Amino acid sequence: MDWIINLIAVVIAIVSVLAALAHVGYLALLNNAANKRAGGSPVAQYVRGRWAVAGGTTAASLLAWLFTAGGTPMDILAIIVAAGSGAVATKALQSTQQKYRSGG
């Protein structure tokens, strides 16, 4: 039974890390494009303000993944931390994408 909880915790932690890295990657691409364009300073300034959220969610996700190496109580803690950081990272990514979505 313990290995099932561990497997669930590992999967949730990996998905959380992927969500956080997607947010980091999107911010990096947005920052790169803003720095190459004239008049991109408002976007670059917005991105600089979002790095803390991206870094925090990535660190929390990686910490949750590390927690999965412990026993069942640590797996439960990993699930809670990973689910929370993954949700925050996904919401932040969606918010940024909505703000700077182009096309129609």
Residue 102 lies in a domain: no
Who contacts 83 (Cβ-Cβ below 8 Å, separation ≥6)?
Answer: 12, 16
pLDDT tens over the chain, length 104 residues: 899 999 999 999 999 999 999 999 999 999 999 999 888 899 999 999 999 999 999 999 999 999 999 999 999 999 999 999 999 999 999 999 998 877 54
Specify if 87 maps to a domain.
Answer: yes
The alpha-helical segments, DSSP class H, found in 1-104 are 2-36, 41-67, 72-99
* 48 located within any domain: yes
pLDDT of the residue at 103: 53
Termini Cα distance of the chain: 50
Domain that holds residue 51: 2-94
- Of 15, 89, 83, the C-alpha closest to 56 is 89
Predicted pLDDT of residue 104: 47
Q: Is residue 12 part of a domain?
A: yes
DSSP one-letter code for 37: S
Residue 104 lies inside a defined structural domain of this protein: no
Number of folded domains that form the chain: 1
